[in-house]
Structure 1
């Protein structure tokens, strides 16, 4: 095979890939409706800023559409790919010099379900401030593991960390969160 024939084949394959839409509008709309709230909640919790989460969600979906997303591999692969894009955008944001501190996630932004018992409401009141005291990486790992239900290997794929280190990092984040929750609970009891 000559270089010219290889280039011709590559050009034909590229033209075919460009001509074939990866995802039609209806499929994307359904995918967006099923995933946008989860991506926003992840970005809002990890970043601590609902406004930043709004911006990053828009940019994530824009990059998802403009990239060659693994749509043929199924929705789960696309979802992981989308979370990877969102994670990379968040990392890019953190690398930029910050002029304002992270704001706390307002309580109004957290949905309160009807019929919740007082213990659950109390736990939510403690969890928000405790999560805000964690490092962004710790919040990210806890959110992906417990809110999104990803396993260690999937978290490694999304965050770009080594899969072998995820277990230890999650252990440390859980331990730190538990310590912060105990401290806040003591403060709350003392103020009564």
Structure 2
């Protein structure tokens, strides 16, 4: 497996996103026309990736269920505005839907954050050891370790390692600085290694767990 992106690297992600499902143009056309069966098909295809992402960001299955419902309702409401797929350089449908899901999950995370204070490490300099944790823990161990991280740190790690967002994109999504994203990845990766040692598994390897 190749090494993770360096802190300032905007290269391609380590793995294909779990959202990367090719949606036929004919199915999108049926959905735009309001066909219920088409929306049910889209829901079945994207239910798991949306729910998994929401759990990783919100840290709560009930909240994740709400994010899933809100995401799919918004997709139904806004699908007529999607014009990316098929255009040169356009956004694929799965990328557009993923953006809706991330926005919904982060909106709930911000609401959670208002209810508690979190350490602001915006001015901290990340170390060079910002890679994913070592490579032998099972998915359950990693899930428990991720759950032990602060919500913001867990969200940044997931967006960076599992979904392949760059630090610049994460900073924009979370309305923070690029250095914030870098330091959260560095801090979270070190914490995961501490939790998983003497064995551990790279985050990207269990993105669909």
Unmatched runs of 5 consecutive residues or more in structure 2: 1-30, 86-92, 117-134, 201-209
Question: Quick one: which of 100, 114, 136 aligns to 1:81?
Answer: 100
CA-CA distance at 1:96 after TM superposition: 5.2
Instruction: Deviation per CA, 1:11-62: give whole Å up to 9, x if none.
Output: xxxxxxxxxxx94446655543443311210111233322221122112322
1:46 touches 1:137 (CA, 8 Å); kept in 2?
A: yes
Question: In the comparison of the two structures, how many residue pairs are matched?
Answer: 143
Unaligned runs of 5+ in 1: 1-21, 98-118, 186-192
Q: By how many angstroms is 1:167 displaced?
A: 1.9
Alignment of 1:4-43 (within 5 A): 23-24=32-33, 25=35, 28-43=39-54
Counterpart of 1:110? none
Give 1:182 shift. Answer: 2.5
TM-score by length of 2: 0.54
Q: Which has the higher contact order (CA 8 A, sep 6+)?
A: 2
Using the alignment, how far apart are the partners of 1:28 and 1:160 within structure 2? Answer: 31
1:55 is paired with a residue of what secondary structure? helix
The residue aligned with 2:154 is: 139
Larger radius of gyration: 1
Provide the aligned C-alpha RMSD in A.
Answer: 3.3
